[in-house]
Amino acid sequence: MSTINIRKFTSENGALAGLVLLAAVITVMQPAFLSVQNLLNVGVQTAVIAIMAFGMTFVVVAGGIDLSVGSVAAFAGMVGALTAGPVGLVFGVICGLLNGVLIAYGKLPPFIATLATLSIARGLAVVIAGGQPHETDAAVTFLGSNLAPMVPLPLLLMLAFFGVTGLILTRTNLGRRMYAIGGNEEAAKLSGIDVRKQKLWIYALSGLFAAAAGLVLAGRLGSAGPQAAVGYELDAIAAVVIGGASLSGGVGRATGTLVGALVLAVLRNGLNLLQVPPFWQQVVIGVVIALAALLDSLRRR
């Protein structure tokens, strides 16, 4: 195998190898990790971040960033609890379109535009909730339930969004344009791509996926609160980067994002099983994220 092929294989499968190694180490230290019930718990814990991260993958591949997804998830979950699930999805898309307009037409940097939407969505969630959590209706609660004793619906929804993400990235013109824009935006413009229009679609998808994640989270908890999903945007970005995507754009896969989300969930689950204090868990996860970002930098060099 040539040096180029070895480098490509390592880049595309490094996260998976890390996941397997991590699971093996945790199993040696705590055999209960491999119990069926615990593995299902890991899958359910992965679902919300993974769905959110799939939407983030579109943005990162196109060379952007979306800091608003956690707040959009909370806002959509609250709207879904007070009205109906599909309405929450609509508001998620609206938030995403707001990001797209600010970035594509307002020429704001993605960091600033999505930071503004983060504040707007979180504030609206507090306003419509009156500062209090609200119980979800049967439709939203169903999203967090089990279809059968060993078949959690959040896990199935995660796999469905994984499939949709993979199809969009690899089988559609929109997906190909995401890679083109992230690889070289000026070249994409010169090739005839309407970059502004594509960014609207990309951020609308991110908002839609964030809203879906918020509804699944509300369904799991049985209630929606204005402070739900705080910090989830960082986990979503981390999952994408750990999965091998480049923050400079043009690189990213649905499979990598799924593996990245699993790495975070397995790490948290393992640390809980090993009874590591929560503040040390944050330290460990922060180190993992820093290492993933460092590897991304080394790959680009």
Residue 217 in this model has a pLDDT that exceeds 60: yes
List CB contacts of 50: < 8 A, sequence separation 6 or more. 158, 161, 162, 239, 257, 258, 261, 262
pTM of the model: 0.93
Q: Where are the domains of the chain?
A: 30-300
Rounded to an integer, the average pLDDT of 145-161 is 94
- Burial label, 82 (beta-carbon count in 10 A; 0-12, 13-18, 19+): middle
Q: What is the pLDDT of residues 180-214, one digit of tens each?
A: 999 999 999 999 999 999 999 999 999 999 999 99
Q: Specify the CATH number for 30-300; select among 1.10.1740, 1.10.3470, 1.20.1630, 2.170.150.
A: 1.10.3470
Q: What is the pLDDT of residues 119-146, one digit of tens each?
A: 999 999 999 988 888 899 888 999 999 9
Per-residue pLDDT at 4: 54
Rounded to an integer, the average pLDDT of 88-109 is 97
Residue written as token pair 């080394």: 298
Residue 2 in this model has a pLDDT that exceeds 60: no
Contact 83, 137 (CB under 8 A): no
Per-residue pLDDT at 72: 98
Q: What CA–CA distance (Å, rounded) separates 107 from 109? A: 7
